[in-house]
């Protein structure tokens, strides 16, 4: 009996191992053209609750899908017409003025009037300026390589137009057929393990939904908060810095730290020796962190994600390195799935004889059987 069970376990293991290898090979071969399709799938997954709510209000699935995608296309078109030109202008201006900003920041920090930093570090102004130059040069080189990598990843698409044309079409069909696809996949589940697989998939769905929908909403709100706040105090490139900080806020603390450094650095160069705008730039990010930690995260995300920040960052870097920008899109659901399956396996292990040991379980059973209560 145990030998037959072992053969079945090995057969299942080899089957899923081959399926995983085939999926990874598929991603590697078609990585350059998958971005519009994965983006459409992510969009359909993100908007499925909205379609379900419209259905409950009396609309058919087709009507709900059309309403949602028309609204999304209108909002996206407004974003392209209003926000993108401003962002493009600020990106161009920021890249053009970055050497000047860095040089002025170096001069302010290492100037003869700024004695506090030299006293703190214990070096003279000339040495400090040289060291700052080396650090800034290396940082600029690293930033340029990262931007070049992202740009090359984007160029690997058939065309930028394909992202804007294919993604809405894929999202429309997937959103319209979402419930049917879920039912079809559910009918393929092995009968003996159907409930267990459903439980695992439900945990994965809660984790992914908590991150994609909850954390995505948090990033949008923070990006708007930072961008509007920095723009109102008159900071150069405030819209760019704020939106960028909000977008990368899905990595814990990274968005706020990077945005804080950029905003305060630009504020020092722009407003020095006025302290109030510099203080306000820092206060905006402090307020954003307070709002995120005490209001947005508990309300929109809660404890549904179950993704450790270190594991999330590793997944983003690993999948990004292997499959480019497409890999970064699938990193979060893949990390959530691996985390849920790992926790499930750990629970099974802690309940098994492999953990307790045969003799230990017998001793525990005998002890409990002797209790009168």
Query: How far is C-alpha 227 from the geometric centre of its chain's CA atoms?
Result: 19
The residue-averaged pLDDT of 113-125 equals: 51
Q: 203 and 54: one domain?
A: no
* Choice between 357 and 277, residue whose per-residue pLDDT is larger: 277
- Shared-domain flag, residues 261 and 344: yes
Q: At what angle do helices 309-350 and 125-155 cross, to 10 degrees?
A: 70
Task: Say yes or no to pLDDT of 103 above 50.
Answer: yes
Q: Which range is least confidently modeled, 173-182, 222-231, 329-338, 363-372?
A: 363-372
Close Cβ partners of 361 (under 8 Å, ≥ 6 residues apart):
353
5 found inside a domain: no
Residues 262 and 323 occupy one common structural domain: yes
- Give one DSSP letter per residue of 313-329, joined into a string: HHHHHHHHHHHHHHHHH
Mark whether 123 and 272 lie in a shared domain. Answer: no
User: What is the crossing angle of helices 84-110 and 125-155, to 10°?
Assistant: 160
- Tell whether 38 is covered by a domain: yes
Render pLDDT for 195-231 as a digit per residue (tens, 0 to 9).
888 888 888 888 777 777 777 888 889 989 999 999 8
Across the chain, what does the average pLDDT equal? 75
92 pLDDT more than 80 = no
Copy the structure tokens of residue 142: 């690293």
Place of tokens 């302290």: 275
pLDDT of residue 368: 41
Report yes or no on 6 lying in a domain: no
Q: Which residue has the higher pLDDT, 180 or 34?
A: 180
pLDDT digits over 140-172, tens only? 555 555 555 554 544 444 445 566 777 888 888
When mean pLDDT is compared across 88-92, 348-352, 359-363, the lowest value belongs to: 359-363
The torsion angle over the Cα atoms of residues 64, 70, 76 and 80, rounded to 10 degrees, is 180
What would the pLDDT profile of 291-304 be if each residue is shown by its tens digit? 887 888 777 766 55
Residue 22 has pLDDT above 60, yes or no: yes
Whether the CA torsion 259, 260, 263, 266 is positive or negative: it is negative
Residue 121's H or E segment, with its range, is helix 115-121
Q: Which of 136, 169, 188 is the last residue of a domain?
A: 188
| Residue 20 resides in a domain | no
My answer on whether 269 and 333 are in the same domain is yes
* Degrees, nearest 5: CA angle 250-326-202: 60
Q: How confident is the model at residue 4 (pLDDT cuts 50, 70, 90)?
A: low
What is the 3-class SS of 148-210, one letter each residue? HHHHHHHHCCCCHHHHHHHHHHHHHHHHHCHHHHHHHHHHCCCHHHHHHHHHHHHHHHHHHHH
On whether both 184 and 196 belong to a single domain, the answer is: no
Predicted pLDDT at 2? 53
Q: What does the pLDDT average to over 176-200?
A: 83
Structure confidence at residue 372 (pLDDT)? 38
- 346 has pLDDT over 70: yes
Mark whether 195 and 141 lie in a shared domain.
no
Q: Is residue 23 in a domain? A: no
Q: Let me know if residue 321 belongs to a domain.
A: yes
Same domain for 258 and 183: no
Contacting residues for 344 by C-beta, under 8 A, at least 6 apart: 200, 203
Is residue 135 located within the same domain as residue 262?
no
Distance CA 206, CA 305 (A): 7
* CA–CA separation, 129 and 143 (whole Å): 21
CB 258, CB 248: distance < 8 Å: yes
* pLDDT higher at 163 or 81: 81
Q: Range with the lowest mean pLDDT among 63-72, 303-312, 315-324?
A: 303-312
> Are 223 and 307 in the same domain?
yes
| pLDDT score for 301 | 67
- Domain extent for 106: 32-152+159-188
Residue 124 has pLDDT above 60, yes or no: no
Based on the fold, state whether residues 173 and 213 are members of the same structural domain.
no
**Residue 129: is its pLDDT beyond 80?**
no
Q: Sorting pLDDT into bands at 50, 70 and 90, what band is 112?
A: very low
Pair 171, 42: CB distance under 8 Å = no
Our count of domains for the chain comes to: 2
- Per-residue confidence (pLDDT) for residue 114, from 0 to 100: 52
Residue 143 forms part of a structural domain: yes
Residues 219 and 201 in one domain: yes
Is the pTM higher than 0.85? The answer reads: no
- The answer to whether residues 68 and 51 touch, using CB atoms and an 8 Å cutoff, is yes
Q: What is the mean pLDDT of residues 301-316?
A: 70
Q: Are 165 and 298 in contact (CB under 8 A)?
A: no
Note the pLDDT tens digit of each residue in 232-249. 988 888 888 888 888 888
User: Would you state the pLDDT for residue 165?
Assistant: 74
Beta strands per DSSP E along 160-293? none
Residue 329 falls inside a structural domain = yes
């Amino acid at each position: 009996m145990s030998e037959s069970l072992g053969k079945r376990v090995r057969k299942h293991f080899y089957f899923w191992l081959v399926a995983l290898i085939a999926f990874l090979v598929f991603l590697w071969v078609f990585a350059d053209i998958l971005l519009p399709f994965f983006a459409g799938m992510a969009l359909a997954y993100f908007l499925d609750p909205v379609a379900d709510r419209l259905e409950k209000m009396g609309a058919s699935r087709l009507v709900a899908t059309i309403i949602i995608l028309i609204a999304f296309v209108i909002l996206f078109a407004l974003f392209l017409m209003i926000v993108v030109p401003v962002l493009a202008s600020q990106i161009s201006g920021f890249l053009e003025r970055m050497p000047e900003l860095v040089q002025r920041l170096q001069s302010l920090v290492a100037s003869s009037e700024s004695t506090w930093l030299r006293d703190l570090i214990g070096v003279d102004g000339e040495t400090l300026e040289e060291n700052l130059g080396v650090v800034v040069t290396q940082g600029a080189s690293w930033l340029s390589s990262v931007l070049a990598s992202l740009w090359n990843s984007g160029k690997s698409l058939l065309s930028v137009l394909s992202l804007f044309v294919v993604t809405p079409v894929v999202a429309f069909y997937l959103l319209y057929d979402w419930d049917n696809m879920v039912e079809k996949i559910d009918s393929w589940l092995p009968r003996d393990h159907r409930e267990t697989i459903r439980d695992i998939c439900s945990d994965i769905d809660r984790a992914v939904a908590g991150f994609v929908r909850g954390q995505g909403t948090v990033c949008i709100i923070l990006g708007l908060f930072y961008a509007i706040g920095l723009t109102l105090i008159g900071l150069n490139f405030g819209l760019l810095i704020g939106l960028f900080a909000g977008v990368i806020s899905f990595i814990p603390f990274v968005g706020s730290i990077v945005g804080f450094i950029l905003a305060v650095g630009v504020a020092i160069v722009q407003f020095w020796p006025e302290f109030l705008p510099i203080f306000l730039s820092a206060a905006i990010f402090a307020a954003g962190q307070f709002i995120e930690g005490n209001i947005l995260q508990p309300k929109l995300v809660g404890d549904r994600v179950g993704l450790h920040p270190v594991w999330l960052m590793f997944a983003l870097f690993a999948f990004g390195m292997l499959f480019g920008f497409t890999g970064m899109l699938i990193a979060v659901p893949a990390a959530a799935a691996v985390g849920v399956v790992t926790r499930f396996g750990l629970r099974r292990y802690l309940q098994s004889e492999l953990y307790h040991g045969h003799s230990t379980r017998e001793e525990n059973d005998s002890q409990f059987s002797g209790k009168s209560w």
